[in-house]
Amino acid sequence: MSSARDKEKSRLFTRRALILAGGQAALMSVLAGRLYYLQVLQSDEYATMANENRMNIRLLAPLRGQVLDRFGKEIASNRQNYRVVLIREQTKSVEQTLDRLSDLVPVSDADRERVLKEARRKRGFVPIPVMENLTWEEFSRINVHSPELPGIQLDVGETRHYPYGPLFAHTVGYVGSVSERDLKTLEPDPLLELPGFKIGKNGIEKYYDLSLRGKAGTSRVEANAYGRVIRELSRQEGNPGNDLELTIDAELQQYAAQRMGEESAAAVIMDVHTGDILSMVSVPSFDPNSFTTGISVKDWRALQSNPKHPLNNKAVAGQYPPGSTFKMVVALAALEAGVITPDYTTYCAGHTMLGRHKFHCWKRGGHGKLNLRQSIEQSCDVYFYDIARKVGMDKIAEMANRFGLGQKLGLDLYGEKAGLIPTTDWKQAVRGERWQVGDTYNAGIGQGYVLSTPLQLAVMTARLANGGKAVTPRLVKQELQNLVKGDAEQAEPPKDIGVSKAALKAVLDGMFDVMNGEKGTGRGSRIDVEGWEVAGKSGTAQVRRISKKERLTGVLKSEEKPWEYRDHALFVAFAPYDNPRYAVSVIVEHGGSASKVAAPIASDLLKEALRLDPVRRKHKKDEISDKQQREDERDA
């Protein structure tokens, strides 16, 4: 073993060790360079990413605006929803906690199973809803026992509540969850993607959704990688939705719905001067509360298959032949065209011939000799066949349009129907057939192609009653409507539709006699109170044509026919006659006799409207109507 050899070994080792050390130093500088690159050159970028990681923006749902009636009664409000939630990580045994909870409040097996399932799936700190809509009593009972219920927490949410149940389902509508389609069609709003957020799905709730909805607040929170919120960094409160005051009088609405009972019917009551809709009823209805919480498939099917169509708003979307309620329009068309005077008479023999076709009057024996006033009073069909033929369809249609028929009236609801007022051109264009005189005959008594909605008939009646002012219906108080629609200018007073006072008076006299004349078709429903006199007009809409065979064997009385073949009973009226304030239209589907079914309802509704009138007058927000009326009185 020579030391020279050892020295060589040592020298080689030293050389190599230094090479290794140099290599390692180089690699360390690579690391230092990388550190510089990440922490200095790219620092801002990564700092942003770190903030994106930890910060979460949470939306704070605003409180939805309330829908109120004209006196401020809540029609759609937000009810505190007392809920029980369970936080798994705060309890040793979910089952045990649920057992103890069910000693205090009934926990259904389905709920129990759902909670256990979710508890297994979700992260420990995520609250699992156990029960909703607890009563205050249940809520406080759990509250008192909370020390024995680890993991159970109580919280209060807001849910939409309709205290009147089915009463305003068609008018006010309801709210529901945001659907895929809503997301595509509605204006983008981050709130729409908030889990559990509800938007208006129908009626006023839908039409004024944006205003009722309010603006979302935001809360910036710090969250960890598992989504648990650590703390709130900042908070910006949103704006609650605007309250909406309707023109509806909830008390009158309640009365009207109750008065119509089990019928399949609709009614509209409106102020003839302002167009305020005081009541708009469509029965049967449904409970919008069940839509808000989610309706069962079974209940939904039952609603859909009900022959009385509870889901339809018959008041604005139901289109019916107006029947004899159309006769005022025909008479005014004839009077204004100058083809007749109020003294024009016709002889009614129970029918009239047009070529080989026989057109019947509703009264088999005929009315004999009648002038205009009498023929409105007794609703003689032959008289109106005659004057309709004289004036022609196009003039009738033009007059009908002036009274709001055959067009949408711009009510603040979706689904309003236009009805139909045919013209000669219309038939040519749509049916490809020439207009026949027989068509005019049918239109003259509101049958054939003519269709109208209860809302249109109420507007027509209001325009007759207010002396020919083109009043338009509204559901939301004017000043609010302006606010919501951003329409700063003051609403103009309704325009005159340009019908002479004399012609109007001739027709209104006839309507007065309908209720108060000896032979009036609505005589049975007149109001005998001084100053509350009603003027009206009955109407029957044939559901099925009466065949020749039936005429020979004797026409069955409406009540004797199966329900779905019975005629629709209509009635329009206004009161008081001398100083008109309220117009009403009523339709009872398959109600049979207008005089026996529709007229009493119309009369009762007016009576109730008048009874409640002083209250409305006292309410200071009704000044517009009063002012209007005073002006009208002065004009007269």
Task: Tell me how far, at minimum, the Cβ of 231 lies from other proteins, in Å.
Answer: 11
Task: Tell me how far, at minimum, the Cβ of 92 lies from other proteins, in Å.
Answer: 21
Stretch that binds other proteins, among 44-52, 294-302, 401-409, 452-460 (CB under 8 A): 44-52
- Rounded (5°) CA angle 157-158-161: 140
Task: Tell me how far, at minimum, the Cβ of 224 lies from other proteins, in Å.
Answer: 4
Task: Tell me how far, at minimum, the Cβ of 22 lies from other proteins, in Å.
Answer: 10
Residue 49, exposed/middle/buried by CB under 10 A (0-12, 13-18, 19+)? exposed
Contacts of other proteins in 51-70 (CB under 8 A):
51, 53-54
CB 353 within 8 A of CB 565: no
Task: Tell me how far, at minimum, the Cβ of 252 lies from other proteins, in Å.
Answer: 60
Toward other proteins, which CB reaches closer, 16 or 505?
16
Task: Please tell me whether residue 144 binds other proteins under the rule CB under 8 A.
Answer: no
Stretch that binds other proteins, among 33-41, 67-75, 304-312, 570-578 (CB under 8 A): 33-41
Strand partners, 57: 220
Task: Tell me how far, at minimum, the Cβ of 288 lies from other proteins, in Å.
Answer: 42
How many of the other CB atoms lie within 10 Å of CB of 626?
14
DSSP per-residue string spanning 158-186: EEEE-TTGGGGHHHH--EEEPPHHHHHHS
DSSP per-residue string spanning 490-510: PPPPPPB----HHHHHHHHHH
Task: Tell me how far, at minimum, the Cβ of 620 lies from other proteins, in Å.
Answer: 58
Number of residues that bind other proteins (CB under 8 A): 42
Task: Please tell me whether residue 505 binds other proteins under the rule CB under 8 A.
Answer: no
Task: Please tell me whether residue 17 binds other proteins under the rule CB under 8 A.
Answer: yes
Toward other proteins, which CB reaches closer, 39 or 177?
39
CB 97 within 8 A of CB 86: yes
Strand partners, 473: none
Task: Please tell me whether residue 429 binds other proteins under the rule CB under 8 A.
Answer: no
Which x/- pattern over 207-236 shows residues binding other proteins (rule: CB under 8 A)? Answer: ---------------xxxxx---x------
Stretch that binds other proteins, among 38-46, 131-139, 298-306, 358-366 (CB under 8 A): 38-46
Task: Please tell me whether residue 5 binds other proteins under the rule CB under 8 A.
Answer: yes
Task: Please tell me whether residue 301 binds other proteins under the rule CB under 8 A.
Answer: no
Contacts of other proteins in 274-293 (CB under 8 A):
none
Task: Please tell me whether residue 31 binds other proteins under the rule CB under 8 A.
Answer: yes
Task: Tell me how far, at minimum, the Cβ of 124 lies from other proteins, in Å.
Answer: 14
Expressed in angstroms, the distance from the first to the final Cα of the chain is: 142
Task: Please tell me whether residue 12 binds other proteins under the rule CB under 8 A.
Answer: yes
Task: Please tell me whether residue 30 binds other proteins under the rule CB under 8 A.
Answer: yes
Residue 630, exposed/middle/buried by CB under 10 A (0-12, 13-18, 19+)? exposed
User: H or E element: which one contains 585?
Assistant: strand 582-588
How many residues are given for the chain?
636
Toward other proteins, which CB reaches closer, 222 or 509?
222
The dihedrals phi and psi of 170, each to the nearest 5 degrees, come to: -80, -35
Q: Is 324 a catalytic residue?
A: yes
Tell me the chain's radius of gyration from C-alpha atoms. Answer: 36
CA atoms of 457 and 455, how far apart (whole Å):
5
Task: Tell me how far, at minimum, the Cβ of 3 lies from other proteins, in Å.
Answer: 8
Tell which one of 14, 108, 341, 579 touches other proteins (CB under 8 A): 14
Stretch that binds other proteins, among 12-20, 63-71, 279-287, 623-631 (CB under 8 A): 12-20
CB 34 within 8 A of CB 49: no
Toward other proteins, which CB reaches closer, 1 or 636?
1
Task: Please tell me whether residue 125 binds other proteins under the rule CB under 8 A.
Answer: no
**Which residue's structure tokens are 């942003």?**
48
Helix (H/G/I), strand (E/B), else coil: 287 = coil
475: which 2 tokens? 């559901």
Task: Please tell me whether residue 49 binds other proteins under the rule CB under 8 A.
Answer: yes
Toward other proteins, which CB reaches closer, 232 or 425?
232
Residue 483, exposed/middle/buried by CB under 10 A (0-12, 13-18, 19+)? middle
Task: Please tell me whether residue 26 binds other proteins under the rule CB under 8 A.
Answer: no
Tell which one of 28, 156, 502, 529 touches other proteins (CB under 8 A): 28
Toward other proteins, which CB reaches closer, 3 or 185?
3
578: which 2 tokens? 């001398």
CA atoms of 129 and 134, how far apart (whole Å):
12
CB 331 within 8 A of CB 338: no
Toward other proteins, which CB reaches closer, 18 or 349?
18
Toward other proteins, which CB reaches closer, 45 or 113?
45
Toward other proteins, which CB reaches closer, 41 or 488?
41
Task: Tell me how far, at minimum, the Cβ of 85 lies from other proteins, in Å.
Answer: 24
Task: Tell me how far, at minimum, the Cβ of 154 lies from other proteins, in Å.
Answer: 29
CB 625 within 8 A of CB 247: no
DSSP per-residue string spanning 606-632: HHHHHHHHHHHHHSGGGHHHHHHHHHH
CA 317 to chain centre: 11
CA atoms of 198 and 61, how far apart (whole Å):
10
CA atoms of 75 and 239, how far apart (whole Å):
21
CA atoms of 167 and 175, how far apart (whole Å):
15
How many of the other CB atoms lie within 10 Å of CB of 398?
15
Q: What single letter denotes the amino acid at residue 559? A: E
Catalytic residue among 211, 324, 379, 558: 324
Stretch that binds other proteins, among 32-40, 159-167, 286-294, 627-635 (CB under 8 A): 32-40
- From residue 309, alpha-carbon distances to 174, 259, 282, 301, 543 in Å are 17, 19, 10, 11, 16
Stretch that binds other proteins, among 34-42, 258-266, 298-306, 443-451 (CB under 8 A): 34-42
Stretch that binds other proteins, among 10-18, 251-259, 296-304, 613-621 (CB under 8 A): 10-18
Stretch that binds other proteins, among 18-26, 192-200, 347-355, 538-546 (CB under 8 A): 18-26
Residues catalogued as catalytic:
324
Q: What is the contact surface with other proteins in residues (CB under 8 A)?
A: 1, 5, 8-10, 12-14, 16-17, 19-21, 24-25, 27-28, 30-32, 34-36, 38-40, 42-43, 45-47, 49-51, 53-54, 222-226, 230
